[in-house]
């Protein structure tokens, strides 16, 4: 596995893929470790997770540098990602015991009925490159603390991040086999899923990857959680604070170089403020510094791979050919690396890629609507349903609009984000199941009824 720095297109490392013997040894260790790990007290597992969080805090710079060189995230955002991983460790180290407490139920006199939460076993996690630490800790912190063991199949362009994460758990004192990583190709994943020792699968990734994993897991009657793509609407109503909405919208579209499932992708703007908002959004996006992601002043770095940059540009070109207007950007930068500038499209026809597909890069598709009802209709005119954002001066109005949006989460006067304290996940082609909060730690448990006479 060759690791290419997307800012320079230079090879920076090479990793040897795991052999079939390596895979067998990993699965065997995971199964053996689970038999004892499941019997450790939740408090012991919380203490180990707290230690993992401390390690992350102490190695922020090391891991941020690694992340940036492997996938191009601006260094300031890479540091913030490591800090967020430490926070999710802190959250579950503090609250796991409460989340896993048995639930009592009404029962006949003299009997006791509870639901208890027991771990399932080895869980396979197929994770993406765009948030190479956060996506992993989002699953590992709750699932391991619930008593499962984890096996990570990370994206092939971030193998260094995968091994660094395994290092965190090793150094925190987790037993051998509690968390391991497999450096394997995509076409080997199906065989791992079908192995009897794997009891559940979680995936964050594309729709095709989700369908493949869900199909294989379903054939083998294994629980899955899928967090897939999104084409999140960013609704700006006529009474919104235009400056605040434009600032937040530009950042929500370009964060992580625009490569986020929950990025603001479709800007749906009331006609009364459309022109002013578009001018403000354009000014914000033009102001961003594009450059070396290791430079502290960089706002937007490269796309993670050349092929991703080329695909994004193809979507923009096809949208313009279909009738969309290019306001800014729209051409890969003439420099080393996979750089695509902040871009705005307006007058977008349906169908076109900007209207119907997920644009995984710093490209904002802006739609004008005449009223609130049209805004809701446009927001829901998608196969995706991950997140949404609504901007209005009237909180009650925002809540009412939010309740009519088909999505896993809606934020009023705030950009969409994943937070350890609240459940996260989507509907439709954005997947199913929930991560984080109490819902996240109980997803991969056996909710066992325990009836005692």
Query: How far is residue 168's CA from residue 140's CA, in Å, rounded to a whole number?
Result: 12
Of 70, 90, 180, 227, which residue is the catalytic one? Answer: 227
Q: Average pLDDT for consecutive 10-residue bins of the chain (453 residues)?
A: 96 96 98 98 98 98 98 98 98 98 96 98 98 98 98 98 98 98 96 98 97 98 97 98 98 98 98 98 98 98 98 98 98 97 98 97 98 98 98 98 98 97 98 98 98 97
- pLDDT for res 211: 97
User: Dihedral of CA 147/149/152/153: which sign?
Assistant: negative
- Burial class of residue 62, CB neighbours in 10 A (0-12, 13-18, 19+): exposed
The model's pTM is 0.97
How far is it, in rounded angstroms, from Cα 233 to Cα 262? 10
Q: Where are the beta strands (DSSP E) in 200-313?
A: 200-204, 223-227, 232-236, 264-270
> Strand pairing of 223-227 and 431-432?
antiparallel
Give the pLDDT score at 265: 98
Q: Which two tokens stand for residue 192?
A: 């791992």
Instruction: Give kind and range of the element (H or E) at residue 440.
Output: helix 437-442
List domains and CATH numbers for the chain.
2-228+428-452 (3.40.605.10), 232-412 (3.40.309.10)
Active site residue 227: yes
Q: Where are the beta strands (DSSP E) in 26-107?
A: 103-105
Selecting among 85, 89, 161, 261, the annotated active-site residue is: 261
Alpha-helix runs per DSSP H in 59-74: 60-71
Radius of gyration, CA atoms only, the chain:
23
CB atoms within 10 A of CB 13: 14
* Amino acid 52: pLDDT: 99
Instruction: Provide the token pair at 282.
Output: 């354009």
* Contact assessment for residue 375 and residue 235, using Cβ atoms and an 8 Å cutoff: yes
Contact of 285 with 364, CB cutoff 8 Å: yes
**70 is a catalytic site residue:** no
Determine which helix (DSSP H) or strand (DSSP E) holds 322, and give its type and residue range: none
351 preceded by a cis bond (ω within 30 of 0): yes
């Amino acid at each position: 596995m060759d690791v290419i720095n997307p800012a320079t297109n230079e090879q920076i490392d090479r990793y040897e893929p795991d052999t079939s013997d390596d895979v067998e040894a990993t699965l065997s260790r995971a199964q053996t470790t689970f038999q004892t790990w499941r019997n450790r007290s939740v408090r012991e597992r919380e203490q180990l997770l707290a230690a993992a969080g401390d390690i992350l805090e102490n190695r922020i710079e090391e891991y941020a540098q690694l992340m940036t060189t492997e996938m191009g995230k601006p260094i300031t955002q890479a540091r913030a990602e490591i800090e967020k991983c430490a926070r999710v460790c802190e959250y579950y180290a503090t609250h796991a015991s409460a989340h896993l407490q048995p639930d009592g139920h009404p029962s006949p006199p003299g009997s006791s009925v509870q639901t208890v939460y027991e771990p399932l076993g080895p869980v396979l996690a197929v994770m993406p490159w765009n948030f190479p630490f956060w996506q992993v800790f989002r699953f590992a912190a709750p699932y391991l603390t619930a008593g499962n063991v984890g096996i990570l199949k990370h994206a092939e362009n971030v193998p260094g991040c995968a091994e660094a994460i395994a290092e965190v758990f090793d150094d925190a004192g987790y037993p051998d086999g509690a968390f391991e990583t497999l450096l394997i190709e995509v076409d080997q994943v199906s065989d791992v899923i079908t192995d009897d020792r794997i009891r559940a699968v979680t995936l964050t990734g594309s729709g095709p990857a989700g369908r493949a994993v869900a199909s294989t897991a379903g054939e083998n009657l294994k629980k899955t959680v899928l967090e897939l793509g999104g084409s999140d609407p960013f609704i700006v109503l006529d009474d919104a604070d235009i400056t605040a909405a434009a600032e937040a919208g530009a950042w929500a579209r370009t964060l992580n170089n625009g490569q986020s499932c929950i990025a603001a992708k479709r800007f749906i703007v009331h006609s009364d403020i459309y022109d002013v908002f578009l001018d403000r959004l354009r000014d914000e996006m033009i102001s961003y510094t594009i450059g070396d992601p290791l430079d502290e002043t960089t706002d937007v770095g490269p796309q993670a791979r050349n092929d991703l940059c080329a695909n994004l540009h193809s979507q923009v070109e096809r949208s313009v050919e279909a009738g969309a207007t290019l306001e800014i950007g729209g051409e890969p930068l003439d420099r080393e690396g996979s750089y695509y500038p902040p871009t705005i499209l307006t007058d977008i026809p349906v169908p076109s890629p900007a209207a119907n597909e997920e644009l995984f890069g710093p490209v904002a598709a802006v739609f004008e609507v005449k009223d609130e009802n049209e805004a809701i209709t446009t927001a829901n005119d998608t196969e995706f349903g991950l997140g949404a954002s609504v901007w209005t001066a009237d909180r009650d109005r925002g809540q009412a609009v939010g309740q009519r949006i088909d999505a896993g989460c809606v934020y009023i006067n705030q950009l969409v984000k994943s937070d350890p304290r609240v459940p996260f996940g989507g509907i439709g082609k954005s997947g199913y199941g929930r991560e984080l909060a109490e819902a996240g730690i109980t997803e991969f448990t056996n909710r066992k009824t325990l009836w005692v006479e």
